[in-house]
Structure 1
Amino acid sequence: MYWLLKDVQHADFDAFLATDKLVVIDFYADWCGPCRMIAPQIQVLASENTDVSFGKVNVDDNTEVAESCKISAMPTFQFYKGKKKVEEVVGADIKKITDAVAKNK
């Protein structure tokens, strides 16, 4: 299956947010059990919402991005429109994430 979430690095974080579309960033860590558990559900959500840009940021590899976005728990999902954060969901709650996508599209 094609992975629909772009792996976003520090150097391209701002450019990834620079769109009029809703952008969802999944802040995760490889060692995080809930992150691994929800990943397939996020893949399905991304495939059902092709008008939304989904990205993922590994907090261990991109500490500057994680710090600037004030990430303190994983997974954290931040929602951006026009480079402005419009919502945040902390935790592996697919209903809250799905509702946030629908609300902010």
Structure 2
Amino acid sequence: MATIDITEATFDQTITENGIVFVDFWADWCGPCRQFAPVYSATSEKHPDVVFAKVDTDANQGLAAAANITSIPTLMAFRDKVLVFSQPGALPAAAFAELVDAVKGIDMAAVHAEIAAQDAAAVDSAE
């Protein structure tokens, strides 16, 4: 699958409607962003079961602010609507391939159980 461009209007829908979504926050003027773009695109072609989205931070400043983007490129990965990875900086192809495989391998039942336990603990401490 080729990469898709997403905006403030389509971000939530993209995360909600897809099991695994990688999001590359970038800008035209950013050298490391331009270097990472071919790696991101090539990886997207190898994983048709994963959505690879791009957010132009200049055109979507509100979304970049809401996502706390302070450095670009920043790469995020969502699995079942849960943010499972967020890191600034461009990755080499081999490291990015390993990351995609790692996100695919996450035991989401365990992640959801941990989130539920944290939510329950927060409710208990608030009472």
Report the TM-score when normalising by structure 1.
Answer: 0.90
| Structure with the bigger percentage of helix | 2
Q: Please, which of 17, 22, 25 is the counterpart of residue 23 of structure 2?
A: 25
Counterpart residue number, 1:99: 98
CA–CA separation in structure 2 for the residues paired with 1:100 and 1:27: 17
CA–CA separation in structure 1 for the residues paired with 2:71 and 2:21: 20
- In structure 1, the gaps of 5 or more residues are none
Counterpart residue number, 1:82: 80
Counterpart residue number, 2:62: 64
CA–CA separation in structure 1 for the residues paired with 2:69 and 2:43: 22
CA–CA separation in structure 1 for the residues paired with 2:89 and 2:18: 26
CA–CA separation in structure 2 for the residues paired with 1:9 and 1:65: 7
Larger radius of gyration: 2
Percent identity of paired positions between Structure 1 and Structure 2: 33
CA–CA separation in structure 1 for the residues paired with 2:97 and 2:62: 27
Q: 1:70 to 1:96 in 2, by over 3 A?
A: farther
Report the TM-score when normalising by structure 2.
Answer: 0.76
CA–CA separation in structure 1 for the residues paired with 2:22 and 2:55: 11
State how many pairs are aligned.
103
